[in-house]
Amino acid sequence: MRLLGHKLSIPAQIGLAIIALNLVMAIFAPLIAPYDQAAVLGDAWADPDRQHWLGLDNLGRDLLSRLIYGARMSIGLSFVITALSFFIGIVTGFGAAVAGGWVDQALSRLVDLLLSMPTLIFAFVILSVLGSGLPVLIVTIAILDSTKVFRLARSVAVGLVSLEFVEAARLRGEGWWWIITREIFPNAIPPLIAEFGLRFCFTFLFIAALSFLGLGVQPPDADWGSMVKDYRDMINFGYAAPIYPAAAIAILTIGVNFVVDWMLSIHSRGQGEGA
Amino acid sequence: MSVASDKPIILDVRAMRVAVRTDHGDGPVLVDDVSLELRRGEVIGLIGESGAGKSTIGLASMGYTRRNCFIVGGHILFSGADLRAMTADQRRALRGLKLSYIAQSAAASFNPAMTLMDQVSEAPIRHGVMRRAEAEAAAVQLFRELDLPNPETIGSRYPHQVSGGQLQRVMAAMAMVGRPEIIVFDEPTTALDVTTQVECLAAFRRLVREHGAAALYITHDLAVVAQIADRIMVLRRGKMVEFGDARLILQEPQQDYTRRLVSERIAGHAFVAKPEGAAPLLTVEHVTAHYAGKPKVIDDVSLEIFRGDTLAVVGESGSGKSTLARVVTGLLPRASGDVRFDGVSLPPRLKDRPRDQLRRVQMIYQMPDVALNPQQTLLDVIGRPVSFYFRRSRAEVRARVLELLKQMDLPEHFVDRKTSELSGGQKQRVSIARALAAEPDLIICDEVTSALDQLVGEEILRLLKRLQDELGVAYMFITHDLGTVKRIANKVVVMLRGQTVASGDTASVFAPPYHPYTELLLSSVPEMRPDWLDGILARRGANRNI
Amino acid sequence: MGRLILQRSILGVLTLLAASALIFIGTEILPGDLASAILQNQATPETLAKLRLDLGLDKPAIVRYFAWLLGALRGDFGHSLANGRDVLEEITPRFANTMFLAAYAAVVAVPLAVGLGLAAAIRQGGVFDRTVNVLTLMTISVPEYFLAYLLIKYVAVDLGWFPSLANVSSDTPFFDRLYYAFLPMLTLVLVIVAHMMRMTRASVLAVMASPYIEMAILKGLTKTRIVLRHALPNALAPIISVIALNLAYLIVGVVVVETVFVYPGLGQLMVDEVSKHDVPVVQACGLIFAATFIALNMLADILSILSNPRLRQPR
């Protein structure tokens, strides 16, 4: 099987399948899930049977349906945050690279500062006081995460800016906007796509961790992380309940990482052959 | 310089064949049916353009191939034993000891974390033929023979603490310390300045003669190989074109390809003189420039270019010639002095200049691969200046681009291709077309043929000359290659460490009496007479105060 | 080079100051009123006024910040709002526990990771390399609690080899500590080994592609000598960097693991106190975590400067 003109490795194929499955789950949840996610259908912690493949949860709701609906919150939220952080990171990163001089220095120092602080602790401190409303969550994490995108976007752009065809454009008298959009951006796409995948995974795991610790998504909304939190006590009695949502998180992340890994290996291989 | 044929054959290569093989299948053949016999004390020069396979042959003669390359046919006999039939360990035991290699880039070939002495003495110690004290003594002796400064202590330095030319000679010492029987020189002087090249070349030749080793000398420069080889093999795309005595090949080449290589080098002693116009097109007057917080890169430089002139700016690395171009175009603002174009003073900064001023001075770069945006098509690249400066419609732009492609001798159907699909020479033509699309009065050519193969470069020079005759455009031609200067420039400026040491028309600058640096530059350019090196050394030895 | 190190150290200190400021800002200066955020439903005008006075909220923010900072340097973080105890007393044993767990994991993980990374790089492309590659890609993708719960379910509950709750206290003897903390340690190790191993492998491979390695091959040196004497010293800088970064990550990842296993460390304390809005404790924990993290990052920077020969021996 080939994608973008290159042969897909086996892990990459598995990864793509996983991603596709998750997207389908998220988008078509109401059609796929056997029951409504909030409907109480029986006793708490009823065992799995033919009608309820994974059994019922702590409030008697069907676990499988909750799992399917949970995809929406988890994936949707992470996607929005990653997109926002990407936008911020690319605009500032490319801008810093093209502008150079003190603008670049100032932004880079600021980003260095933000990067040298532990994000989890930071998010903790902010969320513990501001509360975990969705808008706060989204903006805080997007800003904290955009620092890493800034680093990559800037280094890619700096590498490109030093190439003669960018200088040729400047000599022509082209403005910044043209240079960024027409000269730099088209050549920056491959590493950026890979980075998007990585950032998505990180955000996804991060949100889930925050939810797990009680600071992320708040009830009645449910994402996979908060599901793990809700079910965790049962593990001591041998119930695998918290493992299911945790496994869902793990599987999606693995899938995306497989695909990103394949993309990165093509990109570097391609450069070697050109020599 | 022929070797008595009673000396034993030490390397016998028979029908060597090297090809690329990857997981995706078979790739191109890099070396196709090449045979040679190397005798003790003899030097065979391997000559060819890039892709000829000369490095591959040199490495394969040591039983080594690079990643994904395999020796798929033939025999390589070292003192009678077939390298291909040996185990990997047996081959390894020979390398660094009996067979040694000198690479093109010394800076890349040394481990930055180890001292020079550790690396030079490493091979014989690890192979178990010398003790540390003995190896180090031998190393110091070689340093002395190679004319390195402070031979007793230079070994304790790290690679980054030593200059390029010195490092190259240390690498030669590293190759010789195990008393090898065969040395493979792989373009060892290509990366060096022309003046440093002479010293290294002399050192290598002396070393080979005194130690009685045999050598394969790989280079693309015919004049260099003429100084050191007894026999020459001309290679093209993996195949042998011609093989024979060095003098004969240089004086009476039999094959067409060889003839082209030899004649291109010799031709061009005709100085081109042109009539002068009324007022100068570009005037650079007492210009000084420097990067922020750093010492001057350009110091009080003045020059004039008239319409239709070709002014060559010559110098070695660090002379400031490329920086001069940046100052003229405004990428680096000048600190003092004036730059006038067509009588009007140009603002020091690029962004202060009006569009039309920018249009009239265009630039062409050295490396074709990075001078063009790989994601853009030829229509994009060549068409942009047309629409940017002249605001033509889409149809007019396309028509103009096709016209330019024809002028460049490029096929019209290339117009929608991406630049990444073209060869180096074709890309350079596209760069020229891009410059011409702006209908400039002056084109700055920054080392435009240095990164190209010799024959391809010649074609580009011919094209540039023709365009000048047709369009009357002026050139500022920046280069380090004096041969090129003599061929196409009617005026020349020689730069050394940011200052001009000589300027005027080519005929008078390159005729005596010379400025001492001009003389040094001119005399360092290898000529194809085999006794050129001896002559230079004799002259310099007589002049040198030791 | 000494100057560079000094520069980095100063940068580290400045970063810590900035971090402390941000932590302070995050907790004290915010829209809405801190006192009502703490008391929430129990707020009456009198209790609010008293709390504000206790917390010194009537003073300007800058004064409060410096008072807090200076107090922190002396070891005085104030008193917990939940149980009134001195914050430093609360934190110290917890901090010790967290450091113990982190050290336990580091001692196991680092040699394992570097060894595996080297082995995979030497046998590049082989079955060992490819399998390890896929396995580590999977391990770095999964959240810590996933691995933790898997271990708990299968090793602790089903097999009963190790306890699922890490009941450690200050008088637990050393070997018992090792036993109780085993599963949490294992979880942490699994995550960071994967990261460090991949980076070690990538660094060694990048170095192996250098031209001076080809030169070493052409000198007829054995593969072992080339890897140990030529490749490793040059790959050391990025490897050390990664190790330090992972140790820094450890400090943070420990929070989740402590929560899962109910291990009485600093991370678990912070999580508990956050939900109680116990601001002084949260600030203190935040500051200590940030300090350790920043210190380790700085160490990584300094170590990679030290292992760069070009910087050690200037021209």
CB proximity C225 to B under 8 Å: yes
Q: Enumerate neighbours of A (3 or more CB pairs within 8 A).
A: B, C
Q: Which subunits count as partners of chain C given 3+ CB pairs below 8 Å?
A: A, B
Q: Decide if C274 and A128 are in contact by the 8 Å CB cutoff.
A: yes
User: Across the A/B interface, how many CB contacts are shorter than 8 Å?
Assistant: 40
Residue A232 with chain C: CB contacts under 8 Å: 149, 260
| Mean pLDDT of all residues in B315-340 | 90
Over chain C, what is the mean pLDDT? 80
B434 and A168 within 8 Å at the Cβ level: the answer is yes
Contact across the interface for C219 and B110, Cβ inside 8 Å: no
Handedness of CA A107, A108, A111, A116 (dihedral sign): negative
- Nearest-by-Cβ selection for A172 from B358, B367, B371: B358
Is the predicted pLDDT of residue B211 greater than 70, yes or no?
A: yes
pLDDT band at B546 (very low <50, low <70, confident <90, very high): very low
- Among all chains, which residue has been given the structure tokens 């043209």? A178
Taking residue C212's Cβ as centre, other Cβ atoms within 10 Å add up to 24
Written as six digits, the tokens of C309 are: 């020969």
Least confident of B391-400, B518-527, C215-224: B518-527
Specify the amino acid at residue A116: S
Q: In chain A, what residues touch B22 (CB-CB under 8 Å)?
A: none
Chain A residues with CB under 8 Å of C137 CB are 11, 254, 257-258, 261
Q: Most B CBs within 10 Å: which of C215, C229, C315, as the mutation test of the B interface? A: C215
Please answer yes or no on whether A187 and B373 come within 8 Å at the CB atom: yes
How confident is residue B273, by pLDDT bands cut at 50, 70 and 90? low
DSSP helix/strand/coil, B269: coil
Q: Give CA angle at C37 (C35, C38), nearest 5°.
A: 65
Task: Kindly determine whether residue C234 and residue B105, on different chains, have CB atoms separated by under 8 Å.
Answer: no
Across B132-145, average pLDDT: 92
Site of tokens 């999977």: C138
Cα of C204 to nearest chain B Cα, Å = 14
Question: How many helices (H) and strands (E) would you count in chain B?
Answer: 21, 20
Q: Say if CB C109 and CB C191 are below 8 A apart.
A: no
- Check: complex ipTM more than 0.85: no
pTM of the predicted structure, to 2 decimals: 0.76
| Domains of chain B (ranges, CATH numbers) | 41-64+88-266 (3.40.50.300), 282-511 (3.40.50.300)
Largest Cα–Cα distance of chain C, in whole Å? Answer: 85
pLDDT confidence tier of residue C231, bands split at 50, 70 and 90 = confident
For residues B383 and C26, which has the higher predicted lDDT (pLDDT)? Answer: B383
Higher-confidence residue of C78 and B275: namely C78
Kindly indicate the confidence band of residue B319, based on its pLDDT and cuts at 50, 70 and 90: confident
| Neighbouring-strand partners of residue B283 | B304, B340
Q: Which residues sit opposite B44 in a β-bridge?
A: B216, B231
> Among A227-231, A267-271, B9-13, C48-52, which range has the highest average pLDDT?
B9-13
Query: Do the chains contact at B62 and C218, CB–CB below 8 Å?
Result: yes
User: Pick from C220, C225, C229: which is nearest to B95 by CB?
Assistant: C220
Question: In this complex, how many residue pairs, one in chain A and one in chain C, have their CB atoms less than 8 Å apart?
Answer: 132
Mean pLDDT value across residues B396-409: 93
- Choose, out of A105, A122, A129, A230, the residue to mutate when testing the contact with C (most C CBs < 10 Å): A129
Distance from CA of A98 to the nearest CA of B (A): 14
The confidence band for A175, taking pLDDT boundaries of 50, 70 and 90, is confident
Task: Sort out which chain C residues have CB atoms less than 8 A from B108's CB and list them.
Answer: 210-212
Looking up tokens 């190190």 gives: C5
**How confident is the model at residue A274, as a pLDDT?**
25
How far apart (Å, rounded) are the C-alpha atoms in residues C279 and C87? Answer: 11
Q: Residue C314: what pLDDT? A: 59
Nearest CB neighbour to C212, from listed B101, B108, B160 = B108
Tell me the nearest-neighbour CA distance from B135 into chain C, angstroms.
15
Q: Is A174 on the interface with B (CB under 8 A)?
A: yes
Which chain C residue lies closest to B95 (C-alpha atoms)?
C220
Contact call for C215 and B123, based on CB within 8 A: no
pLDDT of residue A83: 94
Per-residue pLDDT for A110 more than 80? yes
Contact C1, C314 (CB under 8 A): yes
Q: What is the distance between the alpha carbons of residues C198 and C208, in angstroms, rounded to a whole number?
A: 15
Interface of C with B in 229-288 (CB under 8 A): 229-230, 233-234
* Predicted confidence band of residue B545 (pLDDT cuts 50, 70, 90): very low
pLDDT top residue among C231 and A219? C231
pLDDT digits (tens, 9 = 90+) for C249-270: 787 788 888 888 888 888 888 8
Q: B355 to chain A, minimum CA–CA distance in Å?
A: 7
Task: Give me the mean pLDDT over the A15-23 stretch.
Answer: 91
- Which pLDDT value is given to residue C237? 77
**Looking at the complex, does the CB of residue A7 fall below 8 Å from at least one CB of chain C?**
no
pLDDT per residue over B431-479, tens digit each? Answer: 999 999 999 999 999 999 888 888 888 889 989 988 998 898 999 999 9
- Answer whether residue A275 shows pLDDT above 50: no
Nearest partner of B70 among B18, B26, B6, judged by Cα: B18
Among B residues 437-456, those touching chain A with beta carbons less than 8 Å apart: 438
- pLDDT score of C305: 76
pLDDT at B265: 60
> How many contacts does B have with C, using Cβ atoms within 8 A?
72
Work out the average pLDDT over B130-151: 91
Distances (CA, A) of A130 to C26, C281, C284: 8, 17, 18
Contact status of A159 with chain C (Cβ, < 8 Å): no
Is A183 close to B373, i.e. CB distance below 8 A?
Answer: yes
- Assess whether pLDDT exceeds 60 at residue B297: yes
Nearest CA-CA distance, residue B90 and chain C, Å:
10
A246–C37 CB contact, under 8 Å: no
| CB-CB under 8 Å, A165 with B353 | no
Contact with chain C for residue B96, Cβ under 8 A: yes
Rg, chain B, Cα only: 26
Q: What confidence tier does C91 reach under pLDDT thresholds 50, 70, 90?
A: confident
The arithmetic mean of pLDDT across residues B308-312, rounded, is: 90
Nearest CA in chain C to A272: C209
Determine whether the interchain pair A214/C271 forms a contact, defined as Cβ–Cβ distance below 8 Å. yes
Per-chain mean pLDDT for chain B? 87
pLDDT at C315 over 70: no
Q: Nearest by CB to B358, which of A171, A183, A187?
A: A171
Strand partners, B215: B43, B183
Residue B58 pLDDT class (50, 70, 90 cuts): very high
Closest-CA distance of chain A to residue B383, Å: 13
User: From the CA of A172, how many Å to the nearest CA of chain B?
Assistant: 6
Query: What CA–CA distances, in Å, run from B289 to B322, C209, C278?
Result: 12, 40, 62
Q: Which residues 329-358 of B have a C-beta within 8 angstroms of A?
A: 329, 331, 350, 353, 355, 358
Q: How confident is the model at residue C23 (pLDDT cuts 50, 70, 90)?
A: confident
Burial class of residue A47, CB neighbours in 10 A (0-12, 13-18, 19+):
exposed
Residue B270 has pLDDT above 70, yes or no: no
Of B105, B126, B161, the CB nearest to C221: B126
B64 touches C: beta carbon within 8 Å: yes
Instruction: Sheet with B69-78: list strands edge to edge.
Output: B25-39, B9-22, B69-78, B81-82
The answer to whether residue C25 scores a pLDDT higher than 60 is yes
Return the higher-pLDDT residue of B526 and B406: B406
Is residue C72 over pLDDT 80?
A: no
Q: Is pLDDT of B269 > 60?
A: no
- Is the per-residue pLDDT at B275 higher than 70? no
pLDDT in tens, B466-514: 899 889 899 999 998 888 888 888 899 999 988 999 888 888 888 877 7
The confidence score (pLDDT) of residue B309 equals 87
Check residue A130 and give its pLDDT. 66
**Distance to chain A for B370, nearest Cα, Å:** 6
Instruction: Kindly identify which residue of chain A lies nearest to residue C158, measuring between CA atoms.
Output: A238
Percent of chain B residues past pLDDT 90, beyond the cut: 44
- Binned at pLDDT 50, 70 and 90, residue C241 comes out as confident
Distance from CA of B315 to the nearest CA of C (A): 26
Task: For residue B1, name the pLDDT band (cuts at 50, 70, 90).
Answer: very low
Residues contacting C252, CB < 8 A, separation 6+: A118, A119, A120, A121, C289, C293
Q: Please tell me the predicted confidence (pLDDT) of residue B302.
A: 92
Q: Which residues of C touch B97 (CB under 8 A)?
A: 220
Q: How many percent of chain C have pLDDT more than 70?
A: 86
Q: Which among A130, A201, A246 is the nearest to C146, CB-wise?
A: A246
